Structure 1
C-alpha cells in the first residue's frame, strides 16, 4: 500500500527461470492464476461492492479494511515454483516504489534470519519506515511451527469469525444452527424423511449408503473409528440426497466446504436430533436443511484457528510470536473466475468472483489494512510503534468476555503462542497511550548478542553503518517470553523496557500483573508518571518461575497491564513462560 500509487503491478521471476533454465512460465505477467493474491489484496484495500456473496452465503456489502488505500501488487510466486531471490527483489522494489506497508501472506520455514528473504527485505523496509505485516503460517496446532518470526516485522495469527451458515429444522419445530457451505443456489431440501439407522449411520460405505441415497436425510454418527472427513466423502460419492454430520472437528469446519446437500451440527445438538428421529411416536420423522442462510453473533468467537502456526519462533524464540490475531477463517473476498471456487458432488464445478477462504494468509491483510490506517493517522510513527499499538491494544477476550479459546486444543484457553496479545482492535490501536519503540540499531544489537557473524549481519542489514558495541538480547518489545530447560526446575529472567507517552499530555500509569502459573512477576517501578507527550520512562520486569509439572509442552502465561489513572488507556503486554525444548 502506498499514498501515491493508484493501482500498480510488477512481477519477478528471474530466480525461477535461473533455477529452471528450460522452464516456460505459463502466465508471464502479474495476473493472478490462483486467487490467493486477489483474495488478500481485496481484503486489505478493496472498495465497496454491493450484493456480494459466496453462492448466497455471507451476503452483503463487501469492503476492504482500508478501502481508500492505493494498492501495488508484486507477484513473486509462480505455478512453476518460487525462489527467495524473487521474493527479495519484489519486496525491495516495493520499498523503492514508496509503499507505506507491505503485506506478505507467505513465508519460508526452518531458515535462519540471515537466509530468510522476508527477514532481509523487511529489515530494509523497517529502515525506511515501512511496516511489513506477515502471516504466521498454517502448520498448527503444534508449537514451534511458526514462520516469519522476524523481530522487526509484524506476525499475524488466524482466528475464527462469529459467523456460521445453514440450519436444520426438525419436524417438531426445533431449529438447530449448524455449519455448511453447500454452494447450489435455490436448493430445496424441505420436509424430507429423517433417517437414523445403525446399519448405515457410520456413513463409511458407499454400497450401503447408495441403497438409501434417495430416501431422505441420513444422520451420520460421530465416531472415533471413522473420520467425519471420510464420512463427507462417502456421502458425496453415494449421491445421498441429504445428510447430517455430528462433529466439531475444526479441520472440517475451518478448512473444508461440503460438496453434498448436508449440514454439520455440534455434538451437543446430536442427541436431540437422533432422539427425534428414533422416537416411535414420531410417525415418519422429517426435517429440512435451510441453505444460503448466514448467522452472525455466534458465540464464543473469535477462537484461535486450529491450523494457525504456533510460536515460539524457530528463527528466534526470544521474541514472543505471533504478535496478534486477526480474522482468518472463512473470509469472504475477491477471487478469480478462472478456477473453480466450489464443487457440487464430484464433477460439477462452480466459478465465482468471490470466495470464502481460510488461513493466516487471510488474517495477515486484515492487520496490514489496520496498519495502513494507523500510518495515515500517525505518519511519524515507526514500524515498531505501529506494531506496539496493535499489540498493546489487542483484545484477549472473546464475545462472551472470557479468554479466547484454542480450537487446536479444545476446551483450553489460547496461549499467546497461538494468538499473540489477542484479537486486533483497530479503533483501540489509534490511541494506545504508550508505545514501545525500537531503532534499526536495537535490532542489530540483538543480532550481535545472538552471536551472528559480521557476514551474517551484513546479509541482513546490507549496510556497514551499524556496530556491535552494545549487544543485547533484551529488545524493547511489547511482550515477554522466558524459557526453562528440560532439567531445570526454576528460572529467573530480567527484562528492561522503555515506553513513550503518546497520549495528549501528562499522565500517570499504574501496573497490574497477572502471574503465569508457577511464576512471580515483579515490576519496578509500579507507577510511571509522565509530565508531557513523547516523554519516555523505563521499567524492569523480573520473572521468577518454579516448574510446576514435568510434562512436556507446559506453557503458562499472564500479562502486565499499565492502567492510566481514570482508565483512559490500558496498555497490555502478554507474558509467556515455556520450555526451551519445544
Structure 2
C-alpha cells in the first residue's frame, strides 16, 4: 500500500463529541507502507482534561484491545497517543476493523480523511506536479544532473544522502577535498570548481562551496530531497523538494563572488560534465554572443547534445524589453520566468488611518503603534538633498532620521540598510518598476508603486506630525500565471526563424535551500541567516525545467535531447495574452506541464546535422562550423536543398514579415511515441490577417516510432515593425494533444 492510498478516520466516543480532522505526520505514514490491508485511523475519545491525561494512554489501549482481543496486538497497532490538547489516538487498522469500531455503542461516527501534504514553495503543485506524481524511482536514482553555478552547500538537508546507494556505475566524475567543503556523498556525487586565473577569490573560497547561495538554490530546486516544514520567517511554509528528489547531483562551480562567470570556466565545466556522465545540464547564467560560434554556452551545450545530454538555460533577466532573450541556440531549452499564485505583501498604516499595501519580505513585528515618518528628501545632509531622496549612503542627517521611518525613492537596493545604519526604524520605498517580486529586507520596510508613493509623500507634507507603521509581511493569493517583468523577451536576436524563449516555468519568489555563509540580503549590517530563502529570476525557472527534463528522461532514457525538449514544448499549458501582452515572445509555448510531458504522443526529433543545416541556412559558413563538429569539413551548399522558409524540425514556428507581407513554408516531421496505431487530425488556429494551411490535415500511424511529415504554408499581410500575432497548429488524437505555436512578427 503506498502512502498516497493511506486513509485516516476519526472515531469519536460519546454522544455529544464534535469530530475534527488531524493529520498523521509523514514518518508515521512510512511506518505502514507496504503492510497489507492496513490504514491509519485516528480515534477521538473526547477532550483531554487533567483527570483524563494520566488515564488516556491506557484508555486508548483498552479500546484497541476490545477490538483486537489482545493487548499485545493493540500495542503493536497503536501509533500515537494524544493526551495534551485532546484525547485521541492513532492506530493501524484494516478497513473492516475501522468499520467494526464505528459500530460500537460508544462511537458516534467515523470520518475518513485523505493524507494532506503541506504545499512547497508552491511552484511544483501550482504547475500540476504533486509530490505523489508517478515515478520510476529505480531509473530516477540513476539520473545525474549537472549544474554550472556558484557551487553548493553539502550540509543542507536537501542534499543528504540518507537512503541513497553508491553513485551510478556510469559516473566518471570526481570530488576532491577542498577548503571549507565537507565533501561529496551519495547524493552530491561530484563537485569541482573552475577558475580561469587560478588565483585567490576575494569574498569567495577556492572550492565548490557556495558562498553566494544561488547554486544551492538552483540545485535544490532541480533535485533536492524532500524536506518538510521549510519556510522563510514562517512564509512560503511547506515541503521543499526538487523535481527529481531521487536523482544525483554534480556541481561545477564557475561563478565567483565579485567576478562573475568566465567563458573559459563555463566551457571547461561543460567538458567535464560531458565526460563525467551527466544526463541533464542546468545553467542559470545569462549572456549570449552575437554568434553561436562565439558563445561558450551554445558551444558547450552543442557538444552535450551530441552526447545525448539535455541542456536547459535561463532566458535572462533583461525584460520586459523586446529582443532581450539570451541563451537562444536551437539545441538549448530556453526558459522564461512565470509567477505563481501568491504574493508577499506588507501593510502600511498611516497616522491618518489610511492603509496602503507594499511588497517585500519584512519579518519584523512593529515595536510600537506608530513611528514618526519623514521623507528622505527632507533630511539630507547639506547639499545632498538629491541623494537623500533616494536614501543613498551618507546622504541623510542621522539626527533627523533616528527613531523614524523614512520614505525613499528607489535608486538602488539597500535603502532599508542605510536607514537602519544611521538609527532609523525602517523605510517605505517607492519604485517606478514592476512590483512582481519580493525583496528581502534587513529592517522594517516595504516597496510601494508610484501612485501609492505620491500619496505618502503628500501625506508627509500636509500633516503636522506624519506617522506610520509597517506591519510584518503576509502571504496572499494573486492572479497567475503571468510572466515576470524581469524575464527577457523575444524576438530571438539570433534568428528570425526560431521562437525563443521555448517555455515558461515558475521563477518568482521561489523557496529553496540557501547557504549559511551569506546573510539573506548580503548587505552591511544584516544578521539574518536561513536554511531556505526566496529568490526570483529566470535562474529559478531554469532548474524547474531541467528537473522536468530529468523526470521525462527517467521514463524515456533512450529519447534524444530534441525529443525531450519537444515533449516539454508541445504539452505546455497555453498562457493568456491578456496578462502577457508580448505573447509567445514572453512565454514561448506556455507554462510547463510536467505530467503531460511524459506522454506527448508525437515528438519533433532532430540530430546534430539538423542543427548544422539550420546554421547553414542562417548564413554560417561551413568552414566556421568546426568549433561544433570538429575538423570534418562541412559543405553548406549540399545541405540546403531548398526546403522552404525554415529548415529546422522545431516544435514551434516563427517568421518575420516585411511591409509587403510574407509567405513562409515550414516542413516538419513528427515521430510517433504514443500508441502504435493512432490517427492525428490537425486543428488550425490562425490570427486575423494570416492564413495557415496544413497538408496533409491527417496523420496516420501504424507502429511505434513511425515518422510522418507535413507542410505548413503561412501567408501573412504586412505588419508594422515589432507587431506580433500568433496562432497554433494542434494535432489531436483521442489520447493526445500536440500543440505548436505559430508566431508572425513585423521586422
TM-score range, shorter chain: 0.7 to 0.9
8 Å contact kept, 1:51–1:61? yes
**2:209 aligned residue:** 31
Please point out which of 143, 146, 150 is paired with 2:322.
Answer: 143
Please point out which of 706, 718, 727 is paired with 1:558.
Answer: 727
- Tell me if 1:249 matches 2:433: yes
8 Å contact kept, 1:404–1:414? no
Deviations, residues 373-430 of structure 1 (Å, cap 9, x unaligned):
0000111211111100111111123xxxx44623xxxxxx342112111111111111
CA distance in 1, matches of 2:255, 2:564: 28
8 Å contact kept, 2:719–2:746? no
CA distance in 1, matches of 2:419, 2:739: 48
Q: Which structure 2 segments of 5+ residues have no match?
A: 1-142, 145-166, 172-185, 380-385
- Tell me if 1:501 matches 2:501: no
Q: TM-score, normalised by structure 1?
A: 0.81
Deviates most, 163-172 or 427-436: 163-172
8 Å contact kept, 2:436–2:484? no
CA distance in 2, matches of 1:543, 1:194: 64
CA distance in 2, matches of 1:28, 1:212: 42
**1:519 aligned residue:** 690
Structure 1 SS opposite 2:616 = helix
8 Å contact kept, 1:189–1:288? no
8 Å contact kept, 1:302–1:404? no
**1:154 aligned residue:** 333
Task: Give the count of matched residue pairs.
Answer: 545
- Tell me if 1:424 matches 2:592: yes
**2:579 aligned residue:** 405
CA distance in 1, matches of 2:195, 2:240: 36
In the TM superposition, what are the counterparts of 1:19-168 in structure 2 within 5 Å?
A: 23-25=199-201, 27-79=205-257, 80=259, 82-168=261-347
- Tell me if 1:306 matches 2:485: yes
Please point out which of 612, 626, 636 is paired with 1:444.
Answer: 612
Q: Identify if the C-alpha distance between structure 1 residues 173 and 431 changes in structure 2 by more than 3 Å, giving closer, same or farther.
A: farther
Structure having greater relative contact order (Cα 8 Å, sep ≥ 6): 1
CA distance in 1, matches of 2:466, 2:208: 55
8 Å contact kept, 2:338–2:504? yes
Q: Identify if the C-alpha distance between structure 1 residues 363 and 404 changes in structure 2 by more than 3 Å, giving closer, same or farther.
A: farther
- Tell me if 1:536 matches 2:715: no
Deviations, residues 65-91 of structure 1 (Å, cap 9, x unaligned):
211110011122334554323222211
8 Å contact kept, 1:324–1:423? yes
Deviations, residues 497-534 of structure 1 (Å, cap 9, x unaligned):
11122222322322222223432222222222333332
Deviations, residues 23-60 of structure 1 (Å, cap 9, x unaligned):
43553322223222111111111112233222332222
Structure 1 SS opposite 2:745 = strand
- Tell me if 1:16 matches 2:197: yes
Q: Which structure 1 segments of 5+ residues have no match?
A: 18-22, 221-225, 407-412
Deviations, residues 452-480 of structure 1 (Å, cap 9, x unaligned):
23332111122629764333642010101
- Tell me if 1:380 matches 2:558: yes
**2:60 aligned residue:** none
**2:133 aligned residue:** none
Root-mean-square deviation over aligned CA pairs: 3.8
Structure 1 SS opposite 2:639 = coil
Q: Per-residue deviation at 1:256?
A: 3.2
Structure 2 SS opposite 1:363 = helix
**1:340 aligned residue:** 519
Deviations, residues 80-114 of structure 1 (Å, cap 9, x unaligned):
55432322221122111111111111144233111
Structure 2 SS opposite 1:254 = coil
8 Å contact kept, 1:110–1:315? no
CA distance in 1, matches of 2:413, 2:554: 49
Q: Per-residue deviation at 1:257?
A: 3.1
Deviations, residues 230-285 of structure 1 (Å, cap 9, x unaligned):
996687678664666676832x542633444234467899999999999x9xxx99
Q: Identify if the C-alpha distance between structure 1 residues 239 and 575 changes in structure 2 by more than 3 Å, giving closer, same or farther.
A: farther
CA distance in 2, matches of 1:125, 1:491: 36
- Tell me if 1:364 matches 2:555: no
Q: Per-residue deviation at 1:563?
A: 2.4
**1:570 aligned residue:** 737
Q: Identify if the C-alpha distance between structure 1 residues 288 and 451 changes in structure 2 by more than 3 Å, giving closer, same or farther.
A: closer
CA distance in 2, matches of 1:524, 1:266: 51
8 Å contact kept, 1:327–1:363? yes
